[in-house]
Structure 1
């Protein structure tokens, strides 16, 4: 059955999977138990990211007996960001929920996040906060705390727990963001850049009981590099001249002052040809000019990108008069029979 021919569900749950064969049956069971008692129709997009432990075969087996499970199979291991994006590209619900497949997130907390979105129109994204983390390894706790503070400070999106995979979004926010590389860690920052209003709620966290953790302390260095990209993306994506040109002016200013001082020295009859300071001044001015030119080229490329691709420079939402009517009953969404989708 083609999933696109069935009515769209209320909620699309996206779970990236990599070598979690032992957790899959319990994961599917617990997600079903959590959602079947709710007034939402739902689908589960289980994205297998090139697993080598039999997860693909297990998903096919589970999908045969679970009508609301839609497996998505990637050709090889692309990484968590690509797996999430593959799921985001296929969601159909008005709400989107993400969580990990290792059962450290609690599926029973999904209704908690959805209820916040359903009852609070001023919230577009609800991020889980593992207030009582059950990770025993210091190699996971310490880097996570450092990363959370660093990311919050640099991006201005203040969350206790950027690393919690359990999150819920309104569909328009998901439609506005794209994940590349390893940017899944920065989804709240990307969502904020797309206009999302974000809140955080405490959720339960469990120790891993099966499978092997895919994270280590080495990811801290990758987080720092990705953070530089995110800060640039959020602040200077539409004005690269301010980034490159600003840095260029900072270099040109001391370089110009050095050269002016050396000119005065030269005019007084002293030789400046053998002074290292001359080389420093010339290099600073040349580097500054190059950065300003790079900023100008970036400005032209930015305009070509937006004008030729039709990509919006901003996101907006227009309200009709009926949206402000008091005591307006919520829209009714008929339950949707889900279908199995297997994409190779």
Structure 2
């Protein structure tokens, strides 16, 4: 199979007929073998009934329904697991992504041998309250990840080589940083393509201002896991050793000062009367705790088997 199109959705019943018809038209015109995987993330507006109707009309359209709303990352991860195409295309269900972009995205993955192509909506129809924070997050992500050639990490329209989606895991709200996850997994040939951003035709956005706070926390999380996930002792242990060493130096300083005063028969303050004593004590204790944290983290696997276990109510 040439292409799998994975579409996560939540309460998008109005746009589904137009979106799937558009995708099918593009596929047929280019003679692609394909499947469209619609992942219903717990919709309550009749989206699943519409998916079942579309499946009955077109067997290329498949559906997965979550029992409740888990989030976009969960929907994408489940779609990736189900995808069988050599190239996987992801897009949003709100018609703001154009299926006409699919042939060029496919060509670049197949002919130019990219691992991942991320869309860049250079001209957007979003308000400034959304675009300005997005630009700040993109700048921070470029700086922390080292992926300097991407302008929009969170664009829903992306293309992947099959090996990429089968070897990464998207959980929590990490869908914003899939290129970073792919890079940490060893897929480094990542490109960008300017794509059309269309105004929303139906419904309203499902994301509020809280996503920007969550996005920053997710960025810190993905940076830590990507850099130290396999060697947490390098992070906690190095900080612990540094803290312990600083505390030890301060303790030695206090002891040496006391011995010098004794040697010269001079009066001296008790060690416990000096603020430096307590700083040294805290630094030694914190250093020891950080070292133990790193040791325990080395023993505990971060890949809990139930982390991406979702209750799927039905499939078609």
Q: Same fold (TM over 0.5)?
A: yes
Runs of 4+ in 1 over 3 A off after TM superposition: none
| 1:161 equivalent in structure 2 | 152
Matched, 1:343 2:292: no
Contact 2:14–2:202 under 8 Å retained in 1:
yes
Q: Select between 265-274 and 236-245 the one with higher mean Cα deviation.
A: 265-274
| 1:177 equivalent in structure 2 | 168
Which of 161, 182, 185 is 1:191 aligned to?
A: 182
Separation (CA, whole Å) in 2 of partners of 1:108 and 1:182: 28
Separation (CA, whole Å) in 2 of partners of 1:79 and 1:115: 30
Separation (CA, whole Å) in 1 of partners of 2:7 and 2:227: 30
| 1:147 equivalent in structure 2 | 137
Separation (CA, whole Å) in 2 of partners of 1:270 and 1:173: 65
Residue 201 of structure 2 aligns to a residue in which SS? coil
| 2:101 equivalent in structure 1 | 109
Separation (CA, whole Å) in 2 of partners of 1:71 and 1:130: 27
Deviation at 1:47, TM superposition (A): 0.4
Deviation at 1:154, TM superposition (A): 0.9
Separation (CA, whole Å) in 2 of partners of 1:251 and 1:214: 45
Which of 184, 188, 196 is 1:204 aligned to?
A: 196
Separation (CA, whole Å) in 1 of partners of 2:295 and 2:240: 11
The aligned runs of 1:252-267 (5 Å cut-off) are 252-267=244-259
Show CA shifts across 1:184-211 (max 9, x none).
Answer: 1111011111221100111110111211
| 1:75 equivalent in structure 2 | 67
Runs of 5+ unmatched residues, structure 2 = 262-267, 306-313
- What is the aligned length? 298
Deviation at 1:253, TM superposition (A): 3.0
Separation (CA, whole Å) in 1 of partners of 2:66 and 2:299: 36
Contact 2:272–2:278 under 8 Å retained in 1:
no
| 2:39 equivalent in structure 1 | 47
Deviation at 1:295, TM superposition (A): 1.4
| 2:279 equivalent in structure 1 | 280
Show CA shifts across 1:9-35 (max 9, x none).
Answer: 211110001011111111111111121
Separation (CA, whole Å) in 2 of partners of 1:157 and 1:139: 25
| 1:270 equivalent in structure 2 | 269
Contact 1:81–1:183 under 8 Å retained in 2:
yes
Deviation at 1:152, TM superposition (A): 1.1
Residue 47 of structure 1 aligns to a residue in which SS? strand
Matched, 1:62 2:61: no
Higher RCO, 1 vs 2 (CA within 8 Å, ≥6 residues apart): 1
Deviation at 1:283, TM superposition (A): 0.7
Deviation at 1:299, TM superposition (A): 2.8
